[in-house]
Amino acid sequence: MGLGKIIELVNIGKRYIMGDEIIDALKEITLAVEKNEYLALMGPSGSGKSTLMNIIGCLDSPTKGEYKLNGNLVSRMDDNQLAEIRNKEIGFVFQTFNLMPRMSTLENVALPLVYAGVSKSDRIEKARKVLEQVGLKDRMSHKPNELSGGQRQRVAIARALVNDPAIILADEPTGNLDSKTSIEIMKILSQIHEEGNTIILVTHEPDIALYARRIVRLKDGLIETDELNQFQVKLKQG
């Protein structure tokens, strides 16, 4: 029994014009994502997966097609509404962590709450809570350069979680990490999914995609395959 669609994309296309060249990064994408799904987007470089992720995350708008988020047409939203969605509805986790170097771990995690207008005491309390959730209770006063790559990615995940977003978008979250640390990060994302979040993961690594329940492969701006991950299905059946 599904929980209802959180993301609906119909005939989405994205065209870039660079000088005399026309690049169709996405040609025609129709895709629905249910609440609390765990979806991996795969595909070779240039397949359109990052472009699709940016459109889903309201960081970019399509050239054609229709995008509904929670039943609302994204094309009808103004800049303020889009900014609010990016801050409150969607949590972003990037390959490069994107942390503020001069801020402590706690300050980095609390930053989205500043933009959301949350009081300082509530910001600190919420940031502490999510840092404990990702196992960084003893690293709250450290700066990013005092942390390992895996710890920095945990900070980035905590920052993505701090506003209780419905959707986590993770773009190559293990791209800069060794395999042992990658497994630790993927376990955290699986735990977040178990707690009710919708997760969309962009990866080119098959072993990382296996953590997702559904795998969508893109090629040349089109969906090549869209299937349930049989490994996870069997795991659930026990």
Dump pLDDT digits (tens) for 23-51. Answer: 999 999 999 999 999 999 999 888 999 89
3-state SS, residue 115: helix
Domain span holding position 131: 5-237
How far apart CA 130 and CA 111 sit, in angstroms, is: 13
**What's the number of domains the chain is made of?**
1
The whole-model pTM stands at 0.88
How far apart CA 178 and CA 158 sit, in angstroms, is: 20
Dump pLDDT digits (tens) for 144-196. Answer: 999 998 899 899 999 988 988 999 999 988 888 888 888 988 999 999 999 88
E-only strand ranges, the chain: 5-18, 21-34, 38-42, 64-69, 72-73, 90-94, 167-171, 198-202, 214-219, 222-228
For residue 99, give the CATH number of its domain: 3.40.50.300
